[in-house]
A and B are shown apart, each in its own frame.
Chain A
Amino acid sequence: MKRVLVLIMAAVMLLSCLAGCGTDKAQDPDDGAAKVLELEMNTFPATLHPHEFTTINEYCINYNVYEPLTYVTDDGTVQNVLAESFEVSEDGKTYTYKLRQGVKFHNGETMTADDVVYSFEAAINDPYMATYVSAIESAAKVDDSTVVVTLKAPSSAYVRMSKYITILNKKFCEENESLVSVACGTGPYMLSNYTDGVVIGLTAFADYWQGVASIPGVNYNYIADTATKTMAFESGDLDFITVPEADWDRISSNTAYISGSTTQDLVYWVVLNSADDILSDVLVRQAVYCAINKEDALLVAGNGAGVVANVMADPSIIEGATDDFEYLTYDVEKAKELLAQAGYPDGVDLGEICYIGGTTYEKIAVSVQSSLAQAGITVALKATDDSAIFGDLAVGNFNMGVLGSGLGRDYSLYSQLYTTPYLGALDLCQLQDSSVDEAFAAAAVTIDKAEREAMYKDLITKLETGAYYVPVYYASYIWAAHPGFTPHVDDGGLQIYYCTME
């Protein structure tokens, strides 16, 4: 009896103390509101500035808050968003945009040509946007509804890249020192709750130019742990998740959920340091290429959720990319033969393969190590953390490495992986070949599509057979939702305006 009394007292104390807890940081963003969509994010955005996103989460949130002048869909169609129409000059260097009238920002201001020019100038001067604005010379206002953007040279990638230049409200930006935790776009959702490290809440914007969104609000909840994320979804606390590869079979086979996969711009690859003593020999690199069993890697690392990659840029989604050439394939005997030709008939030790520990990269590295061993190539595994690996790879302090990239849906952007200006940055294979630099530069200013694609085909053939990178597989965006919620997933992740929820 006494023991029971003690336990009851302890329980009462627990409840009474917890009842007294205030929520200092977290606030309930949907108190008294209609059902909002509950989503997750595995990293909390460092900034909500739409031009300074470095993670997919930041991009996905901004995608629903801010809008560009034009947007290129996954199938390559150009859609006018905040531009009513646009014209390109004959020399391909001048883009004249007629702006949509009556578009409101979330602070009630009406969008003007000044806002558009301000946004372009902000992007041009922002180091985060360097890749996307490299072709732009200037932006100028013609009248209240017309803006002219001048390029340094004709650019095949400009229209695709300009979707990242979302339109800011000049007045709002001048009033706020930074856009880290505030936002004011023209998109269907406006920021209603920013609780650092906890949640970002969006509410449907009543004056949205396409009409108010059907889903009244969205909460992006920060959940760092993948096991917790899956449990939160299964318990009904989340409406939609990107499914961890390890849970894909279980979740996708459960009829209580809706699940699907969408192609995304993400390829996992193995980079070979062409400045390395042994890997500078193209025959050794080709041997490595032929020795890697990509299907095994996809199964081990991606649980089968993806497509084996033959070329770095996925031809099904990246304009200018092709796999219409004879590429290297998995062939252990050929790998051994190439090694023998390179002077290593008894196999070779290539040093280390580095990767970020505890991630998909690690699984790929383990699978690659095992594949290479079949061909007599030995590599040691070297786990590192995400803050260190990029530094090592960028300066060539490695033999082999495993990473992934989603550079954008235009092949001109792949110049970052191979050309001299990006040495010390994304030219991780350490290639310094002026003919490659010139070929990329020439293709980027070629407006004729057929001519440009022919140029890219030659370039891709040269780069892929040079085996600087071994593309392993194209990852799929795998997701699951509860019945009643119909997701609309595209390049930018979940486009909530087009989703429906019962």
Chain B
Amino acid sequence: MTKYIIRRLLLTVLVVFGVILIVFTILSLTPGDPGRLILGSKATQAAVDQLNHQLGVDQPFLVQLWNYLKNIVLHFDFGKSYTNGESVIDAISACFPVTLKLALFSALFSSIIGVVLGVISAVKQYSALDNVCSVSAMFFASAPDFWVGLMLLSVFALKLHWLPSFGIKSELGYVLPVATLTLFCAAGILRMTRSSMLDVVNQDYVRTAKAKGAESRKIIWKHALKNALLPVLTAIGMNFGSLFGGAVTTEMVFSLPGVGSLLITAVKSKDIPLAMGSTIFLAVIFSLIMLVVDIIQAFVDPRVKARYTGGKG
């Protein structure tokens, strides 16, 4: 098992390095003069050139990439924002709690809602509740999250005045963004749980348990769900990972100061250090979550576990 974890960790390092290389190359190739962007259109060309020299962006691409990697590896230094001179690490640290809360609560509620409704849907297949759940899941899975966000804003902020329309001046500010992401993620989990449960409830061992007179609730929630949960677990993990990066539009719609908003602002202003830092950060988070999901799956799934424990497991 240790071998498996080490292998996955090495792969994660490779993925992060690949992300750095790709993002750095793309950002370097995009047109735009950082010095001009920082000083504005009214600054003289000499001042712009001098600033570009200070920033090191007048050096060859490979030198810039080497310096960037060296600073990360040796000093854990992701540079300073072009726009306000703030350390990239500080900027991300300040925004991360917002994104983390958003992702955590959305993942939590979408998992609970998705799994519970998915199981009920599967158990009561073709019932009115199943139809309502299936259609709703299809709707929320296909509706863009920014549109759902604006609709929720329109109802709960504009019409009913129950919740704030932007920002997180109070905890209530989290309700609509979390609801938006929850609806989106719960739809996917519900569909996955339903189809997985439908497979399981038709298995022989479930039929046998029923025939032996086991309590129906116990069969569903204890035996069937446990076996159906494996693909659902993967889906939840992936959802959780993508919530960090995928919350970008939701953060923008609700004016939340998270990592997604930071990334968008950085890209728009060609703030290369900040854009690089945010992207690497999101890539690392996603990779780590996937790593954890894979490890949990390896522990839960005897087939994966057996591959790395020589069949002892």
- Once A235-B157, A387-B30 are accepted as A-B contacts, the answer to whether A18 and B255 lie under 8 Å apart by CB is no
Q: Are B255 and A225 in contact (CB under 8 A)?
A: yes
Interface residues in B, total, Cβ within 8 A: 65
Check B36 against A391 for contact (C-beta < 8 Å): yes
Partner of A223, one of B45, B154, B166, B262: B166
Instruction: Assess whether A26 is in contact with B167, with CB atoms less than 8 Å apart.
Output: yes
**Complex Cα spacing A17 to B42, Å:** 49
Interface 9-residue window, one of B1-9, B105-113, B230-238, B290-298: B105-113
Q: Pick the 9 closest A-B CB pairs, nearest first.
A: A127-B47, A387-B270, A197-B257, A54-B40, A387-B32, A46-B83, A24-B97, A232-B165, A388-B31
A236 to B161, CA, bound (A): 9
Instruction: Kindly state whether residue B268 has any CB partner on chain A within 8 Å.
Output: yes
A5 to chain B minimum Cβ distance, whole angstroms, is 11
Whether A231 contacts B157 in the complex (CB less than 8 A), given A21-B101, A24-B97, A127-B47, comes out as yes
Q: Smallest Cβ distance from B93 to chain A, in angstroms?
A: 10
Q: Is B44 an interface residue (CB 8 A)?
A: yes
From B84, B113, B252, B269, A180 is in contact (CB under 8 Å) with: B84
A18-B158 in contact given A130-B47, A394-B36 (Cβ < 8 Å):
no
Do A221 and B45 form a contact, CB below 8 Å, given A10-B112, A231-B153? no
Question: Which B residues are CB-close (under 8 A) to A237?
Answer: 157, 164-166
Q: Is B60 an interface residue (CB 8 A)?
A: no
Extra A-B contacts (18), CB below 8 Å, given A10-B109, A23-B169, A127-B43: A17-B108, A26-B167, A26-B169, A54-B39, A127-B48, A127-B50, A180-B86, A198-B168, A199-B167, A223-B167, A232-B165, A232-B166, A234-B158, A235-B161, A388-B270, A390-B41, A424-B45, A425-B41
- B32 CB to closest chain A CB (Å) equals 4
Pairs across A and B, CB under 8 Å, 17 listed: A10-B109, A18-B175, A24-B97, A24-B98, A44-B265, A54-B39, A127-B43, A127-B51, A178-B85, A180-B84, A221-B166, A228-B253, A228-B255, A231-B150, A237-B165, A390-B33, A424-B45
Interface assignment of A377: CB less than 8 Å from any CB of chain B:
no
- Listed residue (B37, B40, B255) with the most chain A CB atoms within 10 angstroms of its CB: B255
Q: Given contacts A237-B165, A390-B36, are A228 and B153 in contact (CB under 8 A)?
A: yes
Residue ranges of B at the interface with A (Cβ–Cβ < 8 Å): 30-33, 36-37, 39-45, 47-48, 50-51, 83-86, 91, 94-95, 97-98, 101, 105, 108-109, 112-113, 116, 120, 150, 153-154, 157-158, 161, 164-175, 178, 252-255, 257, 261-262, 264-265, 268-270
List the A residue with the shortest CB-CB distance to B217: A2
Task: Tell me if A450 is interfacial: C-beta within 8 Å of chain B.
Answer: no
Report yes or no: B42 in contact with A130, Cβ–Cβ below 8 A: yes
Task: Give Cα distance in the complex from A18 to B44, angstroms.
Answer: 50
- Bound together, the chains give a CA A392 to CA B31 distance in angstroms of 7
- Interface size, chain A (Cβ < 8 Å): 59
Asked whether, in the complex, the Cβ of B261 is within 8 Å of the Cβ of A197, the reply is: yes
- Considering the chains assembled together, what is the distance between the CA atoms of A224 and B154 in angstroms? 17
Are B113 and A10 in contact (CB-based, < 8 A)?
yes
Task: Give the complex CA separation of A224 and B116 in angstroms.
Answer: 36
Nearest CB on A from B237, distance (A): 20
- Pick the contact of B167 from A13, A24, A198 — CB < 8 Å? A198
Smallest beta-carbon distance A169→chain B, Å? 21
A residues 16-69 touching B (CB-CB < 8 Å): 17-19, 21, 23-26, 28, 43-44, 46-47, 54
Complex Cα spacing A178 to B87, Å: 13
